[in-house]
Structures are given as C-alpha cells and as structure tokens.
Amino acid sequence: MPPPFDAFAADLTYDDLPEDLLWVLRRSFLDTMGVAAVASTTEMADRARRGAKAMFGPTDAGSARILMDGTPLSPAGAAMAGAFTVDAVDAHDTTSPCKGHAGSAVFPALLAMAEVTGPMTGAAFAAHLAVAYEVSCRAGLAQHATCPDYHTSGAWTAVGVATATARMLGCESDIIREAAGIGEYHGPRSQMMRCIDFPTNVRDGVGWGAPSGIVAAYLAREGFTGAPALTCEQAPEFWADLGTAWRTVEDTSYKAYPCCRWAHPSIDAVAHLMAQHDLTHHDVAGVDITTFHNATRLAGHRPATPDEFAYGIAFPVATMIVRGQIGVPELAAATLSDPDIQRVSDCIRLIDDPHFTEISQGKRWAQVTLHTKDGRSFEDAPRTPKGDNDQPLSDTEILDKFHLFADPVLGSARADEIADLSTRFDSLSASELSHLIDLCLSAP
C-alpha cells in the first residue's frame, strides 16, 4: 500500500530521494533561474511586480523578496510576482502528461518560503522541492483525467505548493491534508484554451496558483479546514506507486525555445529542413504544418503582443525560418514587426489532423512541408519536440540556454555563480544555500 499523500509529504527526507530525481531538480533549478532572469525584464513581470507591491506588503508572516527583483513583500506576494515573472517567458520546465509546468509555480513559492522559514541546508530544500513537484505532477494528472475542461498549471500546482508550504511551516500530516484541500478548492481553475484563443498576461495560471498554495498552508496552520483534495484522495490510480516511482522524473522535460511546447516540433522541423537543403527565408514560398487540433488553435500569424507570440505557432516557426534561432533578441518587441518574418508567417498553413490529435496525448506531434519559390517541396518526417524525455536536452544544452538568458541580464559573473551553486544545490550548507537564494532574489 502506498502512503497517503499527506504522510508522504510529512515524512519524506533527503535520503529518500533517488539520484535521478535530484538530477531533475538541479536541472530545473538552473533552467528556471535562467528563464526568471530574462523574464524579469519583461513588461508583464513589471506589471505583476507593481500589482503585488500595491496589495501584498510584508506581514506578520515575515517578508520574502520577489524573484530577480529584491522587493520585500509577504510570502504570497513574492510568490505571485515571482510566478508571473517566470511565466512571462514561456521557456520553463514542462510536463507533457500534465499539459503544463510545475517549476514556474514551485520555485517562486518555495524560494519565498525559504526566506521566511529561516536558514536550511540544500538537502532540506531539495526534499521540500521534491514534495512540491511530485504532488503537483500527480494532482495534475488526476485533475486532467477527472475534469471536463483543460485547466492551467496554476490549478494543480496550487495543491503541490500548499502541501510543500505546510511542510515548510512544520505542519503535521493532518494539517498538510487540510492545506492541500484548501489549495485545490481555491486554486485557479482557469481555462487554458481561453488563453490559447485570446493570449494575455494571465498565461498559465501559476501567478495565482503559487500564492493560492501559500495562503492555503497558512490558513490550514491556523485551523482552517478544506480537506479532502479530490485530486489527491479520490483518484487512487494516480497515487498507487507514490513513494516507489517519481512522476517528476518520468514526466519533466525542458524547452529549447521560449514559446508554447505545441509549436516546438514544427520549429524543429523547419530548422532541420532549412539546414538540410541549404535554404534561406528568401527561398520559402509556403509552409504546411500538419498537427493536432489544439496546436492549430495557436495560429498566431500576426501577433501584436509577446503573449500572442508565446501562444502562437505560425510566427515562431517563421521566426526560426528567418532568424535561424528563437533567442533573447527574438523576444524583443521589434521582432513582431519584422517584415521578413511577417511575410513567411502569412504563408504558413495549419492543417488540423485527426490522427495527430489522437496520438498527441502524452506527446506533441507535427509534420512540416516546405515549398520553395522555384517549385520544390521538402517534407519532414512526423516528429515530436526536441527536449522530450526520449530526446532530452543535455546538461550542456541546458547550461548554454541558462547563460543565453541570464548573462545579458545578470552579468556573466553572477550568472556563473548561480549556475555553479544551483547545479549542486542539494549539497550546500545552510549559509551557502542562503547565498544562492540571495543571488536568485536580488535585483539584476
């Protein structure tokens, strides 16, 4: 019999964490901080910080600094602003079976809580992260299987954050159970496809999921009730191997590009075809993208905002064709008015394919055909995204991605130090972890 999720959360120790899980947590720490660095420069992050500062000043719970900003707020306020910051650049770790992202809520929330709960070793922080990730991933699977609508990551990360936050507050399993129930009940059941159809700053819901989880834990500690969390207690098939298998390990993957994962197989395909056939964007007359239904709803031929770029497919694909990359320069507003990218984007055709829709459950499938002005056509084989667990990004690729995002914002010296410490964070002493947290929370 597996342990109840609340007992698992209360009793987990660092010694229980397998090496492959620690490897994922180290990679996610590094990857998330790189995304947070570049995302801290966005208008969306600035809006979130201003809103959080207006509403969530320091409280009796203590103060926690906003990720990559340094302003002291309440733990919930810091988590909100930090999660919106990470979510502002769609390049953070992902879990395809949950159709979302855990780290974009977990890291801002738990870094905020680490500030208010006092010094801890890296090993202790790793155990808290493991609880937050694993409960989030399993709650997400349960929610998608039992709810008729496709909810954002904020809905299920609220449960994981609540569980881990209650643990960080020293709560016993019965209080952890109440916290998870409160987090599930009050977490944002936001409709993901609404943001796909109408992209705005609300993004993946983690900006409200992270603080919802923190508030839930504080309420539970004071005796507020909310159990059961149905995703944790009424969907046993998703918890049957808790403690012996790790969905965090099986399902966490990393993005090569800062846009919706659904666009990635098409981006990979055009990058391959352009290089294989020695083409430039001047050669391209048309592009056919055959993919699953929800990906075709990304559309995004002429995005007017960074949100529309992030939740698009045509324009990011066109950007790869014209620029040969989707990096920091491509996140600039000027990219949206690049006439070469606009021309290629306008000639992209999206084809809704029932077969790809059927098989795009745990994977995301697409097939691309390029048509040239001289009448040639080049067809790529059907593919899933680079970065998935069957074709993972290497440690070197994740490190390069981190420096691509972080160095221009933080400077190479600070970025180097974050990279060094985050990739071995679980071995750090309490003072060393405090230094790493300071590097991550201070303003650039």
| CB 93, CB 35: distance < 8 Å | no
Q: Which DSSP helix (H) or strand (E) runs through 422?
A: helix 412-422
Q: Residue 17 is inside which H or E element, if any?
A: none
* Residues 77 and 109 reside in one and the same domain: yes
- The reply to whether 390 falls in a domain is no
Asked, for residue 384, whether it belongs to a domain, the answer is no
433 touches 119 (CB < 8 A):
yes
Domain co-membership, 162 together with 246: yes
Residues 96 and 147 in one domain: yes
- Model pTM? 0.95
Domain that holds residue 247: 5-255+395-441
d(C-alpha 2, C-alpha 232), whole Å:
12
Mark whether 73 and 165 lie in a shared domain.
Answer: yes
In this prediction, residue 298 has a pLDDT band, given cuts at 50, 70 and 90, of confident
Q: Which CATH number characterizes residue 121's domain?
A: 1.10.4100.10
How confident is the model over 4-24, as a mean pLDDT? 98
| 287 and 411 assigned to the same domain | no
Same domain, 55 and 195: yes
Band of pLDDT at residue 32, cut at 50, 70 and 90 = very high
How far CA 289 is from CA of 187, 343, 422, in Å, comes to 35, 16, 38
Q: Of 379, 403, 419, at which residue does a domain stop?
A: 379
CB 408 within 8 A of CB 386: no
* Mean model confidence pLDDT for the chain: 96
118: left (phi over 0), alpha (psi -120 to 50) or beta: left
226 and 309 housed in the same domain: no
Nearest partner of 332 among 50, 31, 86, 89, judged by Cα: 89
In a domain? residue 211: yes
Can you give the CATH number for the domain in which 291 is found? 3.30.1330.120
Tokens of 172: 């016993």
Cα distances (angstroms) measured from residue 324 to each of 188, 238, 272? 37, 41, 10
Same domain for 246 and 282, yes or no, is: no
For tokens 């609508």, name the residue: 149
> Beta strands 284-291 and 377-379: pairing type?
unpaired
81, 48 contact by CB (below 8 A): yes
Indicate whether 386 belongs to any domain.
Answer: no
Q: What is the pLDDT of residues 357-390, one digit of tens each?
A: 998 887 899 999 999 999 999 999 999 999 998 9
Q: Residue 37 corresponds to which amino acid?
A: A
Residue that finishes a domain, picked among 355, 379, 403: 379
Residue 377 φ then ψ, to 5°? -135, 140
243's tokens: 């403690």
pLDDT digits (tens, 9 = 90+) for 178-214: 999 999 999 999 999 999 899 999 999 999 999 999 9
Whether 205 and 64 share a structural domain? yes
Would residue 59 count as lying in a domain?
A: yes
pLDDT digits (tens, 9 = 90+) for 395-414: 999 999 999 999 999 999 99
What pLDDT score was predicted for residue 339?
A: 98
* Whole-number Å distance between alpha carbons of 412 and 81: 25
Distance CA 301, CA 343 (A): 10
Q: What is the sign of the dihedral through the CA atoms of 215, 221, 226 and 229?
A: positive
333-357 pLDDT, tens digit each: 999 999 999 999 999 999 999 999 9
* Residue 204 · residue 154 · CB < 8 Å: yes
Residue 99 within any structural domain of the chain: yes
Per the domain annotation, does 217 fall within a domain? Answer: yes
**What is residue 186's three-state secondary structure?**
helix
Judge whether 389 lies within some domain: no
- The total domain count for the chain is 2
- Do 294 and 267 reside in the same domain of the chain? yes
